[in-house]
Amino acid sequence: MKNILIVFFVIVIAFTSNVFSQFGQPHCGSQLDFEEMQRTDSARYRRFMDYEHLLQTQLLNSRSIPSGVITIPVVVHIVYNTNAPQENISSTQIDAQIQVLNEDFRRLNADAVKTPLGFRYVAADTEFEFKLATVDPNGNATTGITRTATSVNGFSQNNDVKFTSSGGHDTWDAQRYLNIWVCNLIDPVYPLTNILGYSTFPQDLATNPNLDGVVIKYTCFGVGGHTLSPYNKGRSTTHEVGHWLDLRHLWGDPPFVYNISCAYDDGVADTPPQYEPTYGCSVYPKKDPCTQMIYTGIMFMNYMDYTDDACKNLFTQGQKNRMRALFDDQNGLRRNMLGHCLTGPFWVNFANETVTSDSTVKSCGNIDVEDVSVTNNAKLKLEAPGKVTINHNFSVPVGSTLEIK
Ligand SMILES: [Zn+2]
């Protein structure tokens, strides 16, 4: 009887703290999605596990992943209620978010020095960069920002924000762009829940391309404006883009929140196992039931935990390898994103130049050439998917070449 009572109390405590976390603590919707998938959608979960097996094999063997910086074209869809102008956040705040993404993913964040020594050796420059698109899906110039006024007061995790027909904005081709929707994100079942954002995983791109992308609550997107402490340093977006690039939570998202057996993990070898999410700002080293024998304790300052923005500061080498495997040219789930001209200048005005050695002028849209001389047997190449217009005073003497692509 006594044992039965103890089991009963453990269940009650586990359930209660889950409900408390639903009410009081901030969280990421991708956790609920991943937990629920394991409980209710075995076919989808099998698809995730099949890719996981392939990925782990691929990480051990030879890969064909591009070296150097991978640039991700981004479109930010601002969806704001007509009666809530604060939701229509400024372009300055959007630029600040893009800058945070670039600093965090390139490990150029000023607080990188706060990574504890025990983890500093695994901290990584992931070599991802993010740029607002300059070319839209129709080939026209864009700021990479869409703005939609809506009568919807708040969007839940049901993806209505991703469709114009339900008061949001349609997805731009997810094979070519990272879509980020910024809106008033709410949980209609638990209205006091502080849901900061959620992301799709790349394993769902082929089956649900119109849902692919990241949704962020407007109070934690970017820096300044109407952002609210302690999620006012843009790290919620860093976290969600981490999911979009196939990263998991450090505690492995078991079906019922807690990693009781410590057997669940994030598929990354250089992050310690972890029992549960971490909130606030912890003190290093922090040990939990899964890290009693590990001197560093858990990696609560990793971007994929729930720690406050001010106390997160790293991705690891293992996370970097996992993210970049998405761009393997054989079976990377996001490999089709590479090679499109979407973030360069849309219009190049090439004027008043004398070209004396082989040169290339590139644009993702149009090129206007005016008052240019090509001399000294040089070759001038003009590359643009759009119009190339050659105006007056353009000279190419014998021996020099003009090549238009
Ligand atoms: Zn998350």
Q: Which domains does the chain have, with CATH numbers?
A: 23-337 (3.40.390.10), 347-404 (no CATH)
- Is the pLDDT assigned to residue 196 strictly greater than 80? yes
- With cut-offs at 50, 70 and 90, classify the pLDDT of residue 209: very high
298-312: per-residue pLDDT in tens?
A: 999 999 999 999 999
For this structure, is 35 an active site residue?
no
| Across 245-257, average pLDDT | 92
Question: Rounded to whole angstroms, what are the CA distances from 209 to 73, 172, 174, 237, 327?
Answer: 16, 10, 6, 20, 17
CA 217 / ligand 1 centre spacing (Å): 13
- Is the pLDDT assigned to residue 191 strictly greater than 80? no
The percentage of the chain sitting over the pLDDT mark of 70, rounded to a whole number, equals: 92
291-326 exposure pattern, b = at least 16 Cβ within 10 A, e = fewer: beeeebbbbbbbbbbbbbbebbbbbbbbbbbbbbbb
Please tell me which residue in 36, 52, 240, 276 is annotated as part of the active site: 240
CA 113 / ligand 1 centre spacing (Å): 24
140-169: per-residue pLDDT in tens?
A: 999 999 999 999 999 999 999 999 999 999
At position 196, the amino acid (one-letter code) is L
CA 28 / ligand 1 centre spacing (Å): 4
CB-based contact 105:128 (threshold 8 Å): yes
Average per-residue pLDDT for the chain: 90
φ, ψ for residue 12 (rounded to 5)?
-60, -45
CA 240 / ligand 1 centre spacing (Å): 6
pLDDT of residue 394: 76
| Across 4-9, average pLDDT | 36
351-405: per-residue pLDDT in tens?
A: 998 989 999 999 999 999 998 888 888 888 989 988 988 886 777 767 767 777 7
CA 247 / ligand 1 centre spacing (Å): 9
Question: Rounded to whole angstroms, what are the CA distances from 64 to 7, 130, 259?
Answer: 50, 22, 34
- Selection from 151, 231, 156 nearest residue 190 by Cα: 156
pLDDT of residue 24: 56
CA 193 to mean position of chain CA atoms: 23
Distance (Å, whole) CA 91 – CA 145: 8
